[in-house]
């Protein structure tokens, strides 16, 4: 090879609706960018092997493991984190459902579960039990025993479906 490759790069991205332009080291993960450079500490890091899902954020609508995704890949992308879900004081229906169904205890896995549920219900608004199991099985929770989380996602799905009917969709 000729000249050594650049170890940092400029990215322009939209994070929770806010335009971000910054120079990032190539080795910087999306989670570190969010947590350390943008102060968005709602995204949590745990297993760092894409198993636990605590770090789940949406990139162009798709759920990703932000702990093992590189920030340099965000150039041109839109990112949504747990901090970007609520509209002012109004929580997203998935957030409300997690509170209503007691689907959290220590809360460390909660942002990741919520983002995964949002991704699921965006991709598959009529998600049934099997879709919910398939998508949510990729996140770990050590406190709740999962049953309340499944209930919360089911509840959010039915509320979103009801809202869609009201909107005449």
Partner 1 sequence: MAVLPELGLVRSGDLDEVLATVDSDHAPYAGGTELVPAMGLGLRRPEAIVDLKRVEALQGIVVDAEFGTATIGAAVTHRRLSDHPAVREHLPTLAAAASRVGNARVRSTGTVGGNLCFAEPRSDLGCVLLALGATAEVRSAEGTRTTSIDELIVGAFETSLTENEILASVTVPFEPPGMSYWKLQSYERPTLGVALVVTEDQWQVTVGAATERPTRAVLAAGDAAGLAAFVDRLEFSDDMTGPPDYKRSVLRAHLGRTLGAAP
Partner 2 sequence: MTAVPRSDGWEKVTGRARYAVDAVLPNMAHAAVVRSERAHARITSIDRAEAEAAPGVIAVVTADDLGHLVRRFGHIVPDHAILADGKVRYYGEPVTVVVAETPHQAADAAELVWVEYEDLPALTDAATALASDVFIHEQSYAEPGQEFLGVAPAASADNVAHRAELVWGDAEAALASAATVVETTAAFPIVYGYAMETYNALADWQPGALHVVSTAQHPLMVRNELARMFSLPLAAVRVEVPYIGGGYGSKSYTKLEPLAAAASWASGRPVKVTTDVEAAMYTTRADGALVTVRTGFDADARICARDIDIRFDTGAYADNSPLVLTKSINRSFGPYRMPNLRVRGVAAYTNTSPASSYRGFGAPQAALAGELNMDMAADRLGIDPVELRRRNLLAPGDTIIEGKRPLDADLVADLDAIVAALDRPAPTHAHAPAHVADSASAADPASAPTAVPVRDAAPQPGTLRGRAVAVTASDAGASPISTAQVRMHADGSVTLLVSSTEMGQGSRTALAQIAALELCVPIEAVAVGQSDTRFTPFEWTTGASRTTTVVGLAVQAACADLWDNLRARAADSVGVPVEDVRVSNGLIHAGNGALTSAEVIRRWFGADAGEVVGVGVIRRDGATAVLPPFWEIGAVGVEVSVDEATGEVTVEHLVTVGDVGCAVNPHLVKGQDLGAATQGLGIALWEEMIYDGEQLANPNLVEYRVPRLRDTPRRITSVLAERGDGAGPYGAKGAGEGALNPVPAAVAAAVGRAVGVWPTELPLTPPRVWELLQQAKQ
Q: 84 is written with which tokens? A: 């970007």
Tokens representing residue 68 in the block: 């093992």
Closest approach, Cβ 68 to partner 2, in A, equals 12
With contact defined as beta carbons under 8 Å apart, do 33 and 10 qualify? no
What is the helix (H) or strand (E) element at residue 99, kind and residue range?
helix 93-100
Contact 30, 64 (CB under 8 A): yes
Q: Which of 76, 129, 162, 163 binds partner 2 (CB under 8 A)?
A: 129
Distance separating the N- and C-terminal Cα atoms of the chain: 56
Q: Shortest distance, CB of residue 2 to partner 2, whole angstroms?
A: 25
Query: How many residues contact partner 2, by CB under 8 A?
Result: 57
- 78 binds partner 1 per the rule CB under 8 A: no
Q: How far is the CB of 136 from partner 2 (least distance, A)?
A: 5
Interface stretch with partner 2, choices 70-78, 91-99, 118-126, 159-167 (CB under 8 A): 91-99
Exactly one of 74, 109, 120, 157 binds partner 1 (CB under 8 A); that residue is 120
Q: How many residues bind partner 1 (CB under 8 A)?
A: 37
**90 contacts 33 by C-beta, under 8 angstroms:** no
To partner 2, the closest distance from the beta carbon of 7 in angstroms equals 11
| Among 14-22, 53-61, 96-104, 141-149, the segment contacting partner 1 (CB under 8 A) | 53-61
Q: Are 132 and 118 in contact (CB under 8 A)?
A: no
Residues 6 or more apart whose Cβ sits within 8 Å of residue 107: none
Assess contact for 52 and 6: CB atoms under 8 A.
no
Interacting residues toward partner 1 by CB under 8 A: 1, 4-7, 9, 25-27, 29, 32, 45, 48-51, 53, 56, 59, 62-65, 67-70, 72-73, 116, 119-120, 134-135, 137-139
């Amino acid at each position: 090879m000729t000249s050594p490759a650049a170890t940092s790069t400029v990215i322009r991205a939209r994070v929770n609706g806010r335009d971000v332009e910054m120079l990032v080291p190539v080795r910087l993960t999306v989670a570190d960018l969010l947590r350390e450079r943008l102060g968005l500490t709602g995204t949590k890091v745990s297993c760092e092997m894409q198993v636990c899902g605590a770090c789940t954020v949406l990139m162009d609508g798709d759920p990703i493991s932000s702990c093992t995704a590189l920030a340099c890949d965000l150039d041109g992308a839109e990112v949504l984190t747990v901090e970007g879900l609520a509209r002012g004081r109004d929580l997203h229906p998935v957030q409300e459902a997690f509170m209503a169904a007691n689907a959290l205890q220590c809360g460390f896995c909660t942002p990741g579960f919520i983002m995964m549920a949002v991704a699921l219900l965006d991709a598959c608004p009529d998600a049934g039990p099997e879709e919910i199991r398939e998508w949510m099985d990729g996140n770990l929770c050590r406190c709740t025993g999962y049953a309340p989380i499944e209930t919360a996602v089911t509840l959010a799905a039915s509320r979103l479906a009801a809202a869609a009917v009201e909107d005449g969709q």
